[in-house]
Structure formats: structure tokens, C-alpha cells
Structure 1
Amino acid sequence: MNISRKLLISAFSVVIMGCSSGKYHIVKTGDTLYSIAVKNKVSVTEIMALNNLNTPHINAGTRLLLKGEAESSEIKARYHIVKPGETLYRLSVWYNTPVKYLRQYNNLSDNTIYVGQKIYLDSDILEDDIQTFKVVSRDFDISPTLKSFKWPLKSKEITSDFGVRVHPITGKETTHEGVDLRAKMNTPVYAPYSGIVTYAGWMSGYGKVVVIDHGNGYQSRYAHLNRWMVKDRQEISKGEIIGKTGNTGLSTGPHLHYEIRKNDKPIDPTITM
């Protein structure tokens, strides 16, 4: 094949790729539906509907249709079937819908969901799909204490959700009673609410941990710290630095494990986001 013909084919390929880039995307390693949607200014639900996906999980090499003949506003996923390892928080990110609304649409008393469950994604649900929707078509109420909670880090990037997961070290399926937050070593940790430190010390797999009693049965925990900045029985104000993130205890790298408990029962911390 002569050089001029090679150049012609190369140029033609570039044109084809240019024409296709607006309609299709070839999934690369590290891509997520959320990142693809943001980059191409479309919604996750639109991509899922256009490609007949029933889960946001995608594999490298998959060819995704990004635009169709219908208008974006006409393309909307109605519900999601829960798969192993998925959490309500993760669904809220995938579908760009706040956790509190997913709970409202599905009449959930907390963030617990189970494999195989049908999670409705909006309030436009047929009466024969869910007759009790009118009962829950109101703002979901959480306690005044939780409403006042702030986030313990300036970043809100979650690396491991609340709920059942495969432990990254033991490889066993366990219940994750908090959330793991991405953080570099010695990132300041702030008290989300005022209270009294009930424990600042070493606690088995938690490593260096701070436990705060906020009253009304609420308690919070901050694990795998590198440094404590408080001591037992110390009164803490909301926003005060209580420690620095680290990699102590049963941990695979610097991060913060954050828990909220009500009468010693774990609560998904994302309810306060």
C-alpha cells in the first residue's frame, strides 16, 4: 500500500472517529458511568436507558451510545434492581438523586437495601407500581441532632460505603459499620457536632481512635488516626480538630473510617451529607 493511500485511510479514520465521538464512547479502564456522563454532559440514567443497562457497572471495551433520537428529558430510568455490594449512597451518586429522596420514593425508614430490591428513582410512579407512594410523598425527617451534623473532613469522597462488603484485608464478607473517606496522611479531622470525648486511644482493628458522645444516644467514631488531638472526658465543640488521619490498625492505607451510632446501633453517616 503506497504512502498516499495510507494517509487517505488515516484521514478517513480520523473523520469517522470525530463523527462518532459525539454519539459513542468506548469504555476505558477507570471509567465510570458517572465520569462519562459528566464529561459528555448527559445523565447517567440517559446512558443506561439508551444502552439497555440495568446496572451502572461497565467493563472496559464496552461501546456506549451517548445520544439517541429522543430528547434527553424523555429518557429516564424508572427503577434500579439492587446488586450485591451496592448501597443507597452509591445509587444516589449513579443517578444524581439525593439519598433522602431515594428513601422518600421507596418508603425506607433508613438506608438499608437488599439484593434484588426494586429501588424507584423518581416520584413519577404508576399507581399499580406502588399504591402507597402518596403516604411517603413528603420530606423525609431526621432528628434535629443529625440535621446539625457536619462532615468530619473537608473532602466528601467516599472509598468504601456503609453496609455489607468484602473486607479488603481479610477477604471475608463483613458489615461495614461506617464509611471510609479518602484522605492523605495527617489530614485534619473535625468534630461534626459538639460532645464529650469518651475514648481516645487504641482499639483493636480501629487503630488509634476517637469516640465522641453527642448526647441523645448519638455517638461518633473516627478510626485509623495517626494522631489524637483530644483526650478522654474533654468537651468538644462542633468544627474543632480532634485528630489527624493515618493508617493505624487494620488498614490498607491512609484514610478515615467514620461511624455514627444511635444507642450503639450503626447509622449510615451519609444521611448527614
Structure 2
Amino acid sequence: MRPIQKMFFIIITSVILISCSNSKYHTVKKGDTLYSIAQKRDVPVPELKDINNLESNLLYSGQKIYLKPSKNYKGSYHMVRSGDTLYSISKKYDVKVDHLKKINDLKNNTLYKGDKIYLGKMVNKGDLNFSSSSTTTYKNNSKDSILKNFGQPLKTMTINSPYGYRDHPVLGRRILHTGVDLKASTNTPVYSPYSGIVTYAGWMNGYGKIIIIDNGNNYETRFAHLNRILVKKGQTVKKGKVLAKSGKTGRVTGPHLHYEIRYKNQSMNPMKF
């Protein structure tokens, strides 16, 4: 073999080897992030973390991030349909519910139609096409939902503490914050966001003075840490009615309004609606 032919052979072989190698893993370079690798390789971030046993998003130069082959596969996620539950999805794809919740950062079992649930494993194209007949935990988040007609409990809405897990300012441990804390000085008027019937008006541990309203269609609203309650149990209230005056009763560090929306007694993020 002539020297020039030998040189071309080495170059072509090297290109092929590099190409094959790159199909199996990505070598981290300065500036790389899991997100940039995911975009370039068309592999979801949760999947990259799962197959590489990564506990965080931190990477270092020279690190090998292994990729899953995509040939003959549609993807590694399930698109939620009406009727789907985490249990039915876990059974179909043989993935534990706790694992699904972890890699999708789910705080509870609530699913929304159209959500992508990452499975943490590659799934054959045929396995992704099925209809679930399981009991639904789907919360109606469509334009037909009564939530589209909900108003605001305060005239000015400023969030002090959002919905989700947090380190409780009083208890000092990480727990689910089932509503949102809205900025409100003592005796700020609290309005009913939607019509309904008052099912509770009084004191409740942690909440302090609280009002609970049944808004119909399995929806419920809660208003806590109140200073004054202006309605009674059993009273029918209309949207926009003044229910109470805000305060700092219960387990709090200062005055504000704790506001919750629940569906079938499961908390929802009020700021999504």
C-alpha cells in the first residue's frame, strides 16, 4: 500500500470509529450541559440522568455521557390521555410509580392531558400505541373547565411563596406547600374567586382562621391565616364577595393570605389557572 493510500485509509477508518463511538456516548467538553447534550443528541434530560446514574446536572470535562440507541424506537415518553394514571402507565411499561415520579419531578399522582411522562427507558414504537381503560386521575385543565371563570382572591396578586415542596419557615422541614402565599397586610379584603357554599368557617390547626368553599364540580377553595371571617358555614356566596380580612393566625411568621384550589380533595397549583 502506497503512503498516500495508507494515509487516506487511516483517516477514513478514524472517521468511522469516531462516528460509531459518538453513537454510543458523548464526551463532555467545556461549556457542555445536560440540556445542550440532550438537544444535540435528541435524548431527554431525565433519560440521560437515569442511564448515567446522575444525581445532579453537574458535568466535568472528559466525562462520558452514555446515550441510548434510537433506531427502531419512537421515544421514551408517554403522552398522557384522558383516563391515564401513573399506575396504568407504570404497569404498561414495567416502570415503578415511584421511579416515574422521581424522573418527572412529580409531587403527587396528578396527571394532565397532553403531559409527557418520561419513562427512563427506551420503549418499542408499538408499545407506545395503546388505550388505557384505567380509572382516571386526570384533572380537567381544558377551556371547558370551571377554572377558566375563577377570579382572584386579592385585588393585587404578589406571590411570597409558590405552590410545591419547600422548607417550612416554622416547622423547619421540607413539606408540600398545598397552596400559594400571597402578599397581604393585616385586614386586606379577601374575595371569593368563584361562587359556592361555605362548608367551613373557623379555626383549623396550622391554617389558623380558615374559610373553605365548595365551588361545585368537585372543586374547593381555601383561604387561611385570616384575621376576621365575614361569612358563616352553609352560606351561599357569589364570585367577588368579600369573605374575610387577611391576617397572621395559625402557623405563620407574618401576615399574608394562604390560597388553595383543590379538586377531589387533591391540591392544585392556583397560579396555573
TM-score, length-normalised on structure 1? 0.51
Q: Helix, strand or coil: the match of 1:221?
A: strand
Are 2:255 and 1:254 equivalent residues in the alignment? yes
1:193 maps to amino acid: Y
- Larger-Rg structure: 2
1:149 Cα deviation from its structure 2 partner: 0.6
Q: Which residue of 2 aligns with 1:174?
A: 175
Instruction: Say if 1:171 and 1:52 are closer, same or farther in 2 by CA, change over 3 A.
Output: farther
1:143 Cα deviation from its structure 2 partner: 4.5
Instruction: Say if 1:204 and 1:116 are closer, same or farther in 2 by CA, change over 3 A.
Output: same
Q: Helix, strand or coil: the match of 1:146?
A: helix
Moved over 4 A (4+): 51-55, 106-109, 113-118
Identity, % of aligned pairs? 46
1:154 Cα deviation from its structure 2 partner: 1.2
Distance in 1 of aligned mates of 2:103 and 2:156? 32
Q: Which residue of 2 aligns with 1:240?
A: 241
Distance in 1 of aligned mates of 2:184 and 2:80? 34
1:141 Cα deviation from its structure 2 partner: 1.5
1:114 Cα deviation from its structure 2 partner: 6.4
1:1-273 pair list within 5 angstroms: 117=104, 141-272=142-273
Distance in 1 of aligned mates of 2:267 and 2:187? 26
The C-alpha deviation readout for 1:66-110, integer Å capped at 9, x for no partner, is xxxxxxxxxxxxx998xx9xxxxxxxxxxxxxxxxxxxxx9699x
1:196 maps to amino acid: I
Q: Helix, strand or coil: the match of 1:205?
A: coil
Distance in 2 of aligned mates of 1:246 and 1:167? 18
2:255 maps to amino acid: P
Distance in 2 of aligned mates of 1:261 and 1:142? 18
1:182 maps to amino acid: K
Instruction: Say if 1:142 and 1:114 are closer, same or farther in 2 by CA, change over 3 A.
Output: farther
Instruction: Say if 1:52 and 1:215 are closer, same or farther in 2 by CA, change over 3 A.
Output: same
Distance in 1 of aligned mates of 2:201 and 2:208? 11
Q: Helix, strand or coil: the match of 1:193?
A: coil
1:217 maps to amino acid: N
Distance in 2 of aligned mates of 1:54 and 1:240? 49
Q: Which residue of 2 aligns with 1:22?
A: none
1:193 Cα deviation from its structure 2 partner: 0.2
Q: Helix, strand or coil: the match of 1:186?
A: coil
Instruction: Say if 1:164 and 1:236 are closer, same or farther in 2 by CA, change over 3 A.
Output: same
Q: How many residues align?
A: 171
1:176 Cα deviation from its structure 2 partner: 1.0
1:271 Cα deviation from its structure 2 partner: 2.2
Mark the runs of 5 or more structure 2 residues left unpaired by the alignment. 1-30, 36-43, 47-54, 56-78, 85-99, 106-124, 129-140
Q: Which has the higher mean CA deviation after the structures are superposed, 143-152 or 226-235?
A: 143-152
Distance in 2 of aligned mates of 1:115 and 1:154? 37
Instruction: Say if 1:53 and 1:161 are closer, same or farther in 2 by CA, change over 3 A.
Output: farther
Q: Helix, strand or coil: the match of 2:206?
A: helix
Instruction: Say if 1:249 and 1:216 are closer, same or farther in 2 by CA, change over 3 A.
Output: same
2:172 maps to amino acid: G
1:142 Cα deviation from its structure 2 partner: 4.9
Distance in 2 of aligned mates of 1:192 and 1:210? 13
